[in-house]
Amino acid sequence: MLIVSALLLLVFNNRFRSLEAIVAGPLIGLGTGSKVEVEPSVALIFFDVHTWRMEGLRITAECTAAVVIAPFLLMAGGIITFGKFRISRVLAGVAVAAAILFGVNQLRLVVIAFATHEWGLLRGYGWSHLLVGSLITSFGAIVAIAVFFVIVSRPGRRGRIEPAVEGGSA
Protein backbone atom coordinates (compact mmCIF):
# COMPACT_ATOMS: atom_id res chain seq x y z
CA MET A 1 0.00 0.00 0.00
CA LEU A 2 2.84 2.42 0.80
CA ILE A 3 4.53 1.63 -2.50
CA VAL A 4 1.31 2.39 -4.37
CA SER A 5 0.97 5.60 -2.31
CA ALA A 6 4.47 6.66 -3.35
CA LEU A 7 3.67 6.11 -7.02
CA LEU A 8 0.35 7.96 -6.74
CA LEU A 9 2.07 10.85 -4.96
CA LEU A 10 4.53 11.19 -7.82
CA VAL A 11 1.98 10.77 -10.60
CA PHE A 12 -0.63 13.09 -9.07
CA ASN A 13 1.73 15.54 -7.41
CA ASN A 14 -0.22 18.52 -8.79
CA ARG A 15 -2.77 18.16 -5.99
CA PHE A 16 -0.01 17.85 -3.41
CA ARG A 17 1.67 20.98 -4.82
CA SER A 18 -1.65 22.83 -4.52
CA LEU A 19 -1.78 21.88 -0.85
CA GLU A 20 1.81 23.07 -0.40
CA ALA A 21 0.94 26.42 -1.99
CA ILE A 22 -2.14 26.86 0.22
CA VAL A 23 -0.10 26.18 3.37
CA ALA A 24 2.90 28.26 2.23
CA GLY A 25 0.86 31.35 1.36
CA PRO A 26 0.27 32.62 4.91
CA LEU A 27 3.79 31.60 5.97
CA ILE A 28 5.30 33.58 3.11
CA GLY A 29 3.10 36.51 4.10
CA LEU A 30 4.58 36.37 7.60
CA GLY A 31 8.11 35.87 6.32
CA THR A 32 8.03 38.74 3.85
CA GLY A 33 5.64 41.02 5.70
CA SER A 34 3.74 41.47 2.46
CA LYS A 35 0.31 40.80 1.03
CA VAL A 36 0.11 37.31 -0.47
CA GLU A 37 -2.28 35.66 -2.88
CA VAL A 38 -2.31 31.96 -3.74
CA GLU A 39 -3.49 30.33 -6.94
CA PRO A 40 -3.71 26.66 -5.86
CA SER A 41 -4.75 25.33 -9.28
CA VAL A 42 -1.22 26.02 -10.55
CA ALA A 43 0.61 25.91 -7.17
CA LEU A 44 1.53 29.59 -7.45
CA ILE A 45 2.13 31.98 -4.57
CA PHE A 46 2.29 35.72 -5.24
CA PHE A 47 3.85 38.03 -2.67
CA ASP A 48 4.28 41.79 -2.54
CA VAL A 49 0.87 41.83 -4.20
CA HIS A 50 -0.30 45.23 -5.48
CA THR A 51 3.22 46.68 -5.40
CA TRP A 52 5.79 47.25 -8.12
CA ARG A 53 7.86 44.47 -6.50
CA MET A 54 5.23 41.74 -6.93
CA GLU A 55 6.80 38.31 -7.46
CA GLY A 56 5.52 34.79 -7.66
CA LEU A 57 6.83 31.39 -6.66
CA ARG A 58 5.54 28.36 -8.48
CA ILE A 59 5.97 25.01 -6.83
CA THR A 60 7.04 22.80 -9.72
CA ALA A 61 7.14 19.02 -9.92
CA GLU A 62 10.87 19.15 -9.17
CA CYS A 63 10.53 21.43 -6.13
CA THR A 64 7.71 19.76 -4.27
CA ALA A 65 8.14 17.85 -1.03
CA ALA A 66 6.53 14.93 -2.84
CA VAL A 67 9.85 14.06 -4.49
CA VAL A 68 11.47 13.53 -1.09
CA ILE A 69 8.44 11.99 0.64
CA ALA A 70 7.85 9.35 -2.04
CA PRO A 71 11.22 7.59 -1.43
CA PHE A 72 10.34 7.35 2.28
CA LEU A 73 7.05 5.70 1.37
CA LEU A 74 8.90 3.27 -0.89
CA MET A 75 11.48 2.54 1.82
CA ALA A 76 8.77 2.02 4.45
CA GLY A 77 6.89 -0.30 2.09
CA GLY A 78 10.06 -2.33 1.58
CA ILE A 79 10.74 -2.46 5.32
CA ILE A 80 7.21 -3.68 6.01
CA THR A 81 7.44 -6.26 3.23
CA PHE A 82 10.94 -7.59 3.92
CA GLY A 83 11.91 -6.30 7.36
CA LYS A 84 11.28 -7.52 10.86
CA PHE A 85 9.93 -4.33 12.35
CA ARG A 86 6.51 -3.61 13.77
CA ILE A 87 4.17 -2.21 11.14
CA SER A 88 2.83 0.39 13.57
CA ARG A 89 6.34 1.73 14.15
CA VAL A 90 7.12 1.86 10.44
CA LEU A 91 3.88 3.71 9.75
CA ALA A 92 4.52 6.12 12.62
CA GLY A 93 8.08 6.66 11.38
CA VAL A 94 7.03 7.40 7.83
CA ALA A 95 4.27 9.74 9.01
CA VAL A 96 6.69 11.75 11.16
CA ALA A 97 9.33 11.78 8.41
CA ALA A 98 6.75 12.99 5.87
CA ALA A 99 5.65 15.76 8.25
CA ILE A 100 9.27 16.82 8.75
CA LEU A 101 9.90 16.88 4.99
CA PHE A 102 6.70 18.82 4.33
CA GLY A 103 7.64 21.36 7.01
CA VAL A 104 11.19 21.67 5.72
CA ASN A 105 9.92 22.38 2.23
CA GLN A 106 7.61 25.07 3.64
CA LEU A 107 10.63 26.63 5.36
CA ARG A 108 12.55 26.45 2.06
CA LEU A 109 9.73 28.28 0.26
CA VAL A 110 9.62 31.00 2.92
CA VAL A 111 13.40 31.47 2.72
CA ILE A 112 13.26 31.75 -1.08
CA ALA A 113 10.40 34.25 -0.90
CA PHE A 114 12.15 36.26 1.83
CA ALA A 115 15.42 36.43 -0.13
CA THR A 116 13.58 37.41 -3.31
CA HIS A 117 11.57 40.03 -1.40
CA GLU A 118 14.70 41.51 0.25
CA TRP A 119 17.31 41.27 -2.54
CA GLY A 120 15.28 40.92 -5.73
CA LEU A 121 14.89 38.25 -8.33
CA LEU A 122 18.44 38.29 -9.66
CA ARG A 123 20.36 38.37 -6.37
CA GLY A 124 17.87 36.92 -3.92
CA TYR A 125 16.13 34.15 -5.80
CA GLY A 126 19.14 32.50 -7.41
CA TRP A 127 21.27 31.78 -4.36
CA SER A 128 18.32 31.09 -2.08
CA HIS A 129 16.74 28.62 -4.45
CA LEU A 130 19.81 26.73 -5.58
CA LEU A 131 22.22 26.91 -2.66
CA VAL A 132 20.32 27.66 0.53
CA GLY A 133 17.20 25.77 -0.55
CA SER A 134 19.25 22.68 -1.39
CA LEU A 135 21.02 22.86 1.97
CA ILE A 136 17.71 23.18 3.82
CA THR A 137 16.26 20.21 1.94
CA SER A 138 19.40 18.10 2.49
CA PHE A 139 19.48 18.86 6.21
CA GLY A 140 15.75 18.11 6.48
CA ALA A 141 16.18 14.80 4.68
CA ILE A 142 19.01 13.81 7.06
CA VAL A 143 16.87 14.68 10.08
CA ALA A 144 13.88 12.80 8.62
CA ILE A 145 15.99 9.69 7.98
CA ALA A 146 17.39 9.77 11.53
CA VAL A 147 13.97 10.28 13.11
CA PHE A 148 12.44 7.56 10.94
CA PHE A 149 15.01 4.98 12.03
CA VAL A 150 14.85 6.03 15.69
CA ILE A 151 11.08 5.49 15.66
CA VAL A 152 11.25 2.24 13.71
CA SER A 153 14.05 0.66 15.72
CA ARG A 154 13.41 2.04 19.21
CA PRO A 155 13.61 -0.62 21.93
CA GLY A 156 10.41 -2.12 23.28
CA ARG A 157 9.17 -2.00 26.85
CA ARG A 158 11.88 -4.33 28.14
CA GLY A 159 14.75 -2.56 26.42
CA ARG A 160 14.98 -4.77 23.35
CA ILE A 161 13.84 -4.41 19.76
CA GLU A 162 10.32 -5.74 19.44
CA PRO A 163 9.87 -8.35 16.70
CA ALA A 164 7.29 -7.80 14.00
CA VAL A 165 5.48 -11.03 14.87
CA GLU A 166 5.66 -12.51 18.31
CA GLY A 167 5.69 -16.29 18.22
CA GLY A 168 5.50 -18.93 20.89
CA SER A 169 8.48 -20.66 22.38
CA ALA A 170 9.88 -23.75 20.68
Output the tens digit of pLDDT for each of the chain's 170 residues. Answer: 899 999 999 999 999 999 999 999 999 999 999 999 999 999 999 999 999 989 999 999 999 999 999 999 999 999 999 888 899 999 999 999 999 999 999 999 999 999 999 999 889 998 999 899 999 999 999 999 999 999 999 876 654 455 555 554 44
Please indicate, yes or no, whether the overall pTM of this predicted structure exceeds 0.85: yes
> DSSP E strands: which ranges in 41-129?
44-47, 55-58
In 3D space, the residue among 29, 149, 25 whose CA is nearest the CA of residue 97 turns out to be 149
Q: Are 117 and 55 in contact (CB under 8 A)?
A: yes
The amino acid that residue 71 corresponds to is P
Domain locations along the chain: 2-153
